[in-house]
A and B are shown apart, each in its own frame.
Chain A
């Protein structure tokens, strides 16, 4: 077990709805990154949060947004859900914002949009 926990583990939403996914980072880690993994693909970087601020963003539209809290836990919010948003959403926590240190992944939230 990595100590990174995500909730919920599975979720079904309807197109156009909004969703919030949650991540508790490993103790001592101050950086949380979010990734989207479509079936048969590798994870794609969405964004990173460091000390409660967005610290870098991948090629995702603004309807993907996030928060990091003082205890370093994080949320990923997706508005106006589309069918293509169906994927495994992974969060990774690390000790620093540099990915030269190991990132530990949570077990993921599997989102299905119908």
Chain B
């Protein structure tokens, strides 16, 4: 079983739609949670961190449920420029506070005009 699981998609949605991505993680010791965005043949870039209290950044809302080990990303009013792969990322603790990022395989979003 993968440590971070995501639906690979693709999600094909019209402009203006609301789309939700889900992610589950298996390591209950994971400490930090993120969504990264990766455009085709480019490097991943941090979209937003995810907190237990939930957080919002413009059209993007992220939620974390530690009890269910579940992370979500909601995109409202989708734009053509939102087309990308969205990577769910958790930190896996290593000893003495060192950390690695553990990525899901990504969910591809295609926003149609």
Contacts and interface: CB of A to CB of B under 8 A. Distances in A.
B59 interface: no
B105 A41 contact: yes
Interface stretch (B11-19, B38-46, B66-74, B76-84): B38-46
A18 B94 CA distance: 29
B101 A43 contact: yes
Contact of A98 (B42, B45, B99, B102): B99
B105 A42 contact: yes
Interface string B43-59: 11110000000000000
A55 interface: yes
Contacts of B97: 97-98
Given A42-B87, A90-B43, A99-B100, A56 B94 contact: yes
B109 interface: no
A40 interface: yes
Of the listed residues B31, B45, B91, B101, the one surrounded by the most CB atoms of chain A closer than 10 A to its CB is: B101
A66 interface: no
B101 A99 contact: yes
Contacts, number: 61
A18 B72 CA distance: 41
A68 interface: no
Query: Which of B8, B45, B99 has the largest count of A CB atoms less than 10 A from its CB?
Result: B99
Given A99-B32, A99-B91, A90 B44 contact: yes
A42 B103 contact: yes
A33 B91 contact: no
A98 B95 CA distance: 11
B64 to A, nearest CB: 14
9 contacts: A33-B101, A42-B4, A45-B100, A45-B102, A48-B98, A50-B98, A56-B94, A99-B99, A102-B46
Given A2-B43, A98-B98, 4 more contacts: A43-B44, A43-B87, A50-B98, A102-B46
| List of 7 A-B pairs having minimum Cβ-Cβ separation, nearest first | A42-B103, A99-B99, A105-B43, A45-B100, A99-B91, A56-B98, A56-B94
